[in-house]
A and B are shown apart, each in its own frame.
Chain A
């Protein structure tokens, strides 16, 4: 299930125009991803943590999401220092930890955590529907926006169908195990899920045609600029300029 634990809140970050938040989160991610100096990356991390704090997100939910990415980072820390070519920094018996390997791992860790946090603070603080419409207003391809909104609408329906199929199998004493019968049953269930999803897609399309669909979604939500938007815009411009200065000019 998709939950939106950060979407509801009353910090001023929640009230900012979604288009501004998406634009800045994107720009910021590029800046961070392209930086390689540690002062820039550490400043970025501090800014990200600051925005998460201002958005008053639930710490437990935030850490839960960070744990997911930390598994991947851990793997990086195990592999990179040992395999990357370069001068040795430490020797642990037969193993050599290289300096560029460690530097790269540290950079990647800082970058991914900063970007993840900024998306939690700025993009996850709106509902999926708002995100879809904001992307539409930002002139992102209509097809992508439709795909996004319809996925969000129907993923629950498909999940329900999956559970129903699984329940039906269990009702007839199906116990998954490591055998061909289990694999086959799962293959059938997943196959059936695809068949049903495509049949549903056809029916949904027919229902849309019946209501005069001509290939375009109209959005009811109007985005208004508020006082805090201007403040946010100024703050974001300063942050971006600061990061650029630290990375390329300083």
Chain B
């Protein structure tokens, strides 16, 4: 039983390089491993290749070199990635990209239907997923008429409806108000699955992830190299603000 207790790697990237046509090297000989139950937060400046990393994992972009192993199997071709996409859910940065069906229920059912579920099963799964997120009453709403926060929650529903084992979330909190953000953190906490979360908000990452990584020069810096810490302290001077010194 030792093998089960040991962390099973789900996503293994070795020596991945990627450059946009005519652009600079975004990923440069990058190594990265995500194991079962890992909840990794990824915080890095804009343009450091976080989204590119997600696209490489999902097989939407082809790296110029390196090897990818997902669920213990090496993946190369478009056909290999079909299975990957079923088991890994990607939440896109812009919810308008993700919601393309006329109504909410149709959009949530799109994934299950593609997986070969019958119409009835797909509708049932979609209703359950919406209920889980507390969005049941949105079922018949028109997708483009939803607010930003609602669009985000429905996008999450479309991904969760496919019952993925891993979630990749690309800046899920951008443009959300505090209330929706809290709901999202609670939902992510209650999900028992591995995830990688890109965000610029350290608070959000602290609430939803266990480990925080950064990216620099096309590579991932792990915990030993980056360290965020949280501390409580009293503001003894009441409402008068004070500054935390920048680290050297």
Interface residues of A (CB under 8 A from B): 127-129, 132, 149-150, 152-154, 156-157, 200, 203-204, 206-214, 217-220, 222
Contact = CB atoms under 8 A, between A and B. Distances in A.
A211 B144 contact: no
Given A212-B82, A220-B123, A206 B60 contact: yes
Contact of A212 (B96, B106, B111): B111
B11 interface: no
Contact of B92 (A129, A203, A222): A203
A206 to B, nearest CB: 5
A212 B162 CA distance: 9
Interface class of chain B by DSSP: helix
A153 B101 contact: yes
14 contacts: A127-B102, A128-B102, A129-B102, A129-B103, A153-B101, A153-B144, A206-B55, A206-B97, A207-B90, A210-B89, A211-B159, A212-B111, A212-B162, A218-B113
- Report which residue of B86, B106, B115, B122 has the largest number of chain A beta carbons within 10 angstroms of its beta carbon: B106
Contacts of B101: 149, 153
B161 to A, nearest CB: 9
Contacts of B111: 211-212
Interface in B95-130: 96-98, 100-103, 105-106, 109-111, 113-115, 119, 122-123
Contacts of B165: none
Given A153-B143, A156-B144, A218-B110, A212 B85 contact: yes
Contacts of A156: 144
Nearest to B145: A156
Interface string B61-100: 0000000000000000000001001100110101011101
A19 to B, nearest CB: 17
A243 to B, nearest CB: 34
- Report which residue of A128, A129, A200, A211 has the largest number of chain B beta carbons within 10 angstroms of its beta carbon: A211
Contacts of A149: 101-102
B95 to A, nearest CB: 10
B52 interface: no
Given A152-B102, A206-B97, 11 more contacts: A153-B102, A156-B144, A203-B92, A204-B97, A206-B55, A210-B90, A211-B111, A211-B114, A211-B159, A214-B114, A220-B122
B105 A211 contact: no
A91 B86 CA distance: 76
B209 interface: no
A132 B103 CA distance: 13
A33 to B, nearest CB: 31
Q: Report the 3 A-B pairs with minimum CB-CB distance, sorted nearest first.
A: A212-B114, A129-B102, A218-B113
B30 interface: no
